[in-house]
Structure 1
Amino acid sequence: MTETGNPSQPAHVHEYTSSHIQVLESREAIRRRPGMYIGSVGERGLHQMVFEVVTYAVDEHLAGHADTIDVTITADGGVRVADNGRGLPVEVEKTTGMSAVERELTELSFGSKPHSGYGVCGGISGMGLCVVNALSSRLTVEVHRDGHRWTQEYEKGTPLTPLTRNEETGEHGTTIAFLPDADIFETTRYSFATLSQRLQELAFLNGGLAISLTDERPERPVRYHHTDGLRAYVAHLNPYPPSLVHSPAIAFESENQDETISVQAAMQWNTWSTGGIHSFANSTRTHEGGAHEQGFRTALTDIVNDCARRQRQIAADDEDITAESIFEGLTAVISVKLAHPVFEGSTRTKLSNREADAYVQEVVREHLTDWLEHHPDEAAAIVRRILSFSA
């Protein structure tokens, strides 16, 4: 593996250039072992192709350079993703004679772009664009940057044309259109419902980011834009107001002093469902949980027991309310963003960072304790709801 620069030091937001791309492996390896990079060659891997391109655009949003992503399922069965970020770097490297766009699309690389002060990357370690290109029968890229529109075409990861500078423009952003390779995938038909669910999820997780999805098979547009972030997500998951123990949802967020980890959380108890925890790391759903979810569960269990004793709903010498009772009927979303996430498994379903456990506990203890103290009636109702399951 060849690396340049220091990946632990995020670049300044105005210094995203070709020097920040670190070469790892060639596109031929991706085509030989596609499952290693997108999880499968079935429907899951097919949709992961879209999510990897969208992730690049989301990363631009996290860096403060994009607020709109438009996704289109094209009439020919391909996908087009457009954002209004900075645009992929277009300068040519003197040593290789290759443009930064071509490097990003043909070499497995880690694009160490800065994101909100730390190197958050929600895709496959920043390698997604190369993976998508290698597994597409054709791909076109259009970049608006440095006062011009730039274009290039590829076939199965190989450039058909050089990066071409076109007319002048004052716009900025990147558009990538690709057609998945039918020789690799078991199916190449995209599910509108699958894409829609994930894009709405990303809009919830990244408040202020507008994401649209259009299907040209026939056209069926949707647009997601949630300024209320995770509180809106919980409201979406808890759609029956009469069943809510308290409203609105409890929500808070925090970032550590070094800007290497941030936490967002929202939660609400209801009387109609068993609830559930939806956890994310760098906008990736962690279905198996991990350190951040464990920190949330530990802190919440302690806080609820402390609250119940302060309110004298349980005696000081009573046994603790069990975590099972506390989480019954609770719908919660916990999202962390880290500079260097460590996931278990190739499909990134469990977060291992110890600092996520500690920091989530710290944030939940501070903010939830404060909320319960300032909302005594709601706190009492929550404890009564929990005790009804532990009786």
Structure 2
Amino acid sequence: MTESGKPSQPANVNEYTSSHIQVLEGHEAIRRRPGMYIGSTGERGLHQLVYEVVSYAVDEHLAGHADAIDVTITADGGVRVADNGRGLPVEVEEPTGKSGIERELTELSFGSKPRTGYGVSGGLSGLGLCVVNALSSRLTVEVRRDGYRWTQEYEKGTPITALTRHEETSEHGTAIAFLPDADIFETTRYSFATLSERLQELAFLNGGLAVSLTDERPERPVRYHHADGLRAYVAHLNPYPPSLVHSPAIGFESENEDQTIFVQVAMQWNTWPLRELRSFANSTRTHEGGAHEQGFRTALTDLVNDYARRQRHLPADDEDITAEAAHEGLTAVVSVKLARPVFEGSTRTRLSNPEADAYVQKVVREHLTDWLDHNPNEAAAIIRHILNSSTGRGKE
């Protein structure tokens, strides 16, 4: 992977074909049990539809084939998501007689993306587009690929037109426009603020990716592009410079030898007592934390104690600095991208991979120790802040 979290060896466009899609079950199962796939039929589930389509586009970015995603809340209350990636496959596969587009949008498929060279995959890992289609009263897909523009229309997960080839084009990418089914969702009104927050978050997590959001109800455009990645995210979360213990934010990243896990961390201490740790796995917010958070917390507490004693800020006979004190006033973002993430529960809010715990600990110990050693004045300010924190030492 590169500095922005992209795999170091992008997948070849010819490796992404219809043959990589495996069938599990049809769209009727999704319409009968939508909560199993998107968590709820309320506002959270409604917005999850957008996130699933956007996740497909982010995967194209991570594979090295897209650098822009444009999201539009359309005047009729639907959503359109467009990217400049490779475009969904259009060739027909035997014996199904279906195009890659139709299979992706109508069959619950698992494993299509990982088998095409995606090092990681967000969303429902290959299920997202089918789920969105099944829960939409109508959906239109437009693909630019293989020298032409292609379109197809669906209603409630079922194709109502054949895949149609249009004019020649040298462009490439996929655009999906959908209208959520009012018979399924408690509300079909999208929140600009909710979508804006998540899209900005994705721009922070995927440095180099430009994400835009436009609301046609009336028009209200925003665009996010953060080359500085997670350090820009931490700066966004810490908008009051006078309260900072040190500046700029600390940031580092690392990938293991097998290229199966990529870790990015950014952190900054403040004089205020509040703390905030945001963690992500494959660009999905892990609200309940998990292995990667545990690895960060463990390594940080141990490292702060080791450094404080090594620099004689903490006498040998004094009690250790507690985890509570070490995290006093800390704002941090921990992002991991894994080839095979394991989540607890259908809502994917807690990461279980034990290797994430071990590797995050290793990365934090190595890189944060190096930063402290090379920035002695800032390091001393951090240790003084921790030692003088209101939580004190010897408390849990």
Instruction: Encode CA deviations 1:5-44: one digit per residue, 9 max, x unaligned.
Output: xxxxx99433111111121111000000000000000000
Aligned to 2:266: 266
1:302 aligns with 2:302: yes
Aligned to 2:69: 69
Distance 1:115 1:23 in 2: 14
How many Å apart are 1:116 and its aligned residue? 11
Aligned to 1:146: 146
Distance 1:361 1:375 in 2: 21
Distance 1:249 1:17 in 2: 42
Instruction: Encode CA deviations 1:101-121: one digit per residue, 9 max, x unaligned.
Output: 000000011253259965311
3-state SS of 1:50 partner: helix
Equivalent residues in 2 for 1:313-332, closer than 5 Å: 313-332=313-332
Equivalent residues in 2 for 1:1-391, closer than 5 Å: 12-14=11-13, 15-113=15-113, 118-389=118-389, 390=392
**Amino acid paired to 1:73:** I
In the alignment of these two chains, the number of paired residues is 382
Aligned to 1:4: none
Distance 1:12 1:214 in 2: 30
3-state SS of 1:108 partner: coil
Distance 1:203 1:11 in 2: 20
Q: Which runs of 5+ in 1 are unaligned?
A: 1-9
Distance 1:388 1:313 in 2: 12
Distance 1:311 1:155 in 2: 67
**Amino acid paired to 2:290:** G
Instruction: Encode CA deviations 1:76-130: one digit per residue, 9 max, x unaligned.
Output: 0000000000000111002111000000000011253259965311101220000
How many Å apart are 1:310 and its aligned residue? 1.4
Distance 2:93 2:47 in 1: 33
Conserved in 2, the CA contact under 8 Å of 1:68 and 1:211? yes
Distance 1:116 1:159, change over 3 A: closer
Distance 1:211 1:110 in 2: 26
Conserved in 1, the CA contact under 8 Å of 2:82 and 2:175? yes
Runs of 4+ in 1 over 6 A off after TM superposition: none
Distance 1:19 1:180 in 2: 29
Distance 1:98 1:135 in 2: 21
Aligned to 2:3: none
Percentage identity across aligned positions? 83
3-state SS of 1:25 partner: coil
Distance 2:324 2:128 in 1: 39
Conserved in 1, the CA contact under 8 Å of 2:149 and 2:165? yes
**Amino acid paired to 2:51:** F
Conserved in 1, the CA contact under 8 Å of 2:39 and 2:346? yes
Conserved in 2, the CA contact under 8 Å of 1:108 and 1:127? yes
Conserved in 2, the CA contact under 8 Å of 1:63 and 1:116? no
Conserved in 2, the CA contact under 8 Å of 1:34 and 1:41? yes
Distance 2:226 2:133 in 1: 31
Instruction: Encode CA deviations 1:259-297: one digit per residue, 9 max, x unaligned.
Output: 110000000000135121000000000001000000000
Conserved in 2, the CA contact under 8 Å of 1:294 and 1:357? yes
Distance 1:269 1:49 in 2: 36
Bigger Cα displacement from structure 2, 49-58 vs 10-19 = 10-19
3-state SS of 1:179 partner: strand
Q: Which runs of 5+ in 2 are unaligned?
A: 1-8
Instruction: Encode CA deviations 1:323-373: one digit per residue, 9 max, x unaligned.
Output: 001111000000000000000011000000000001101111110000000
Instruction: Encode CA deviations 1:56-85: one digit per residue, 9 max, x unaligned.
Output: 000000000000000000000000000000
3-state SS of 2:317 partner: coil
Conserved in 2, the CA contact under 8 Å of 1:63 and 1:114? no
**Amino acid paired to 1:142:** E
Distance 1:219 1:118, change over 3 A: closer
Q: TM-score, normalised by structure 1?
A: 0.96
Distance 1:192 1:132 in 2: 19
Conserved in 2, the CA contact under 8 Å of 1:262 and 1:336? yes
How many Å apart are 1:317 and its aligned residue? 2.8
Conserved in 2, the CA contact under 8 Å of 1:11 and 1:112? no
Distance 1:81 1:340, change over 3 A: same
Aligned to 1:6: none
